[in-house]
Structure 1
Amino acid sequence: MTLARYLTAAVCGRLADEGARVAIVLLALERTRDAAVGGLLVAALMVPHVLAAPLVGAAADRVRRRRLLYATAFIWYGVSLALTSTLVGRWPWLAALVLAGAGCVSPLLLGGLSSLLGELAPDNRTRAFSLDAGTYGTAGIVGPAVAAVLAGWAGASWALITLGGFVVVGAALFLTLPLRGPSRSRARRVRPMAGFVVFLRRRRLAAVTVASTLQLLGFGAMPLAAASIAASGIVRR
Structure 2
Amino acid sequence: MTEVDSMSGQGETIRVVIADDERLVRMGLRVVIDAEPDLSVVGEASDGAEVVPLVRQLRPDVVLMDVRMPGIDGIRATEQLIGGMDLPPRILVVTTFEHDDHVYDALRAGASGFLLKRARAEEMVQAVRLVARGDSLLFPAAVRDLALRHGAADGRRPAEAPGRGPVGRLTEREQQVLRLMATGLNNGEIARELVVSQETVKTHVGSVLAKLGARDRTQAVITAYESGFVLPG
TM class, shorter-length: under 0.3
Q: TM-score, normalised by structure 2?
A: 0.23
- Select the structure that is richer in helix: 1
Between Structure 1 and Structure 2, the one with more strand by share is 2
